[in-house]
């Protein structure tokens, strides 16, 4: 809603594009809230990033999925999008594709680990291969002097009331996730 996931996605895209031979595209899921409600919530206008359709997922060699958290789970807009992928599930068009997750939460206890844990079920039902970052980000994973989102499941940030923006360390973690994931997706595609 406030652009936190979009900022992480932009860094992830840069990281993925830093791997030779990899092309990364940004998409956004359809908004489900009326403009009137979004206005009352103080949401800025939507970006010009294309809106994805479920069929677009089948064209990708790998997927990094980012979403805000709502009560410790993916926001309903993203859940509604995934609910529309039944045709892909029925034909197993996403089976075997690598997938990762990144997210934004409102607070430190707001779902930095429960959000990816609950989202993994979507990937599992499609037969996708979950690619977490683990502790490959190195020392940045152990930062405790500053507020930092993210976990071994994926890059993350804290949105708070919407005014806090992703920190430099959170953006570096997002770049790392994009680069790390793209390398794995490229290896998997090369073995197919």
The whole-angstrom distance between residue 112's C-alpha and the CA centroid of its chain comes to 12
Token output for 69: 């958290």
When pLDDT is cut at 50, 70 and 90, the band that residue 47 belongs to is confident
139 vs 24: CA distance, rounded Å: 26
31 vs 149: CA distance, rounded Å: 25
What is residue 142's three-state secondary structure?
A: helix
Residue written as tokens 């206005």? 39
Write out pLDDT tens, residues 166-180. Answer: 999 999 999 999 999
What pLDDT was estimated at residue 192? 55
What pLDDT was estimated at residue 191? 65
The whole-angstrom distance between residue 58's C-alpha and the CA centroid of its chain comes to 17
Within 10 angstroms of residue 141's Cβ, the number of other Cβ atoms is 16
Confidence (pTM):
0.94
Helices (H), 29-162: 35-40, 54-57, 76-83, 86-91, 114-126
Q: Quickly list DSSP for 169-180.
A: HHHHHHHHHHHH
Write out pLDDT tens, residues 84-109. Answer: 999 999 999 999 999 999 999 998 88
What pLDDT was estimated at residue 170? 97
Q: Which domains does the chain have, with CATH numbers?
A: 4-190 (3.40.50.360)
What pLDDT was estimated at residue 62? 97
Write out pLDDT tens, residues 104-150. Answer: 999 888 889 999 999 999 999 999 999 999 999 999 999 989 889 99
């Amino acid at each position: 809603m406030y652009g936190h996931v979009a900022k992480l996605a932009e860094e992830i895209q840069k990281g993925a594009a830093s791997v030779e031979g990899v092309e990364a595209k940004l998409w956004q899921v359809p908004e489900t809230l009326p403009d009137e409600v979004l206005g009352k919530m103080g949401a800025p206008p939507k970006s010009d990033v294309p809106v994805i359709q479920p069929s677009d997922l089948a064209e990708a060699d790998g997927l990094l999925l980012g979403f805000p958290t709502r009560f410790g789970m993916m926001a309903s807009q993203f859940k509604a999008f995934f609910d529309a992928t039944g045709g892909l599930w029925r034909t197993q068009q996403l089976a075997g594709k690598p997938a990762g997750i990144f997210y934004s939460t409102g607070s430190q206890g707001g779902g930095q680990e429960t959000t990816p844990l609950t989202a993994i079920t979507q990937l599992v039902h499609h037969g996708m291969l979950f690619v977490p970052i683990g502790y490959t980000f190195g020392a940045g994973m152990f930062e405790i002097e500053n507020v930092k989102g993210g976990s071994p499941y994926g890059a993350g940030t804290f949105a708070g009331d919407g005014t806090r923006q992703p920190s430099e360390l959170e953006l570096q973690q997002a770049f790392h996730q994009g680069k790390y994931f793209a390398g794995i997706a490229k290896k998997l595609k090369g073995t197919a």
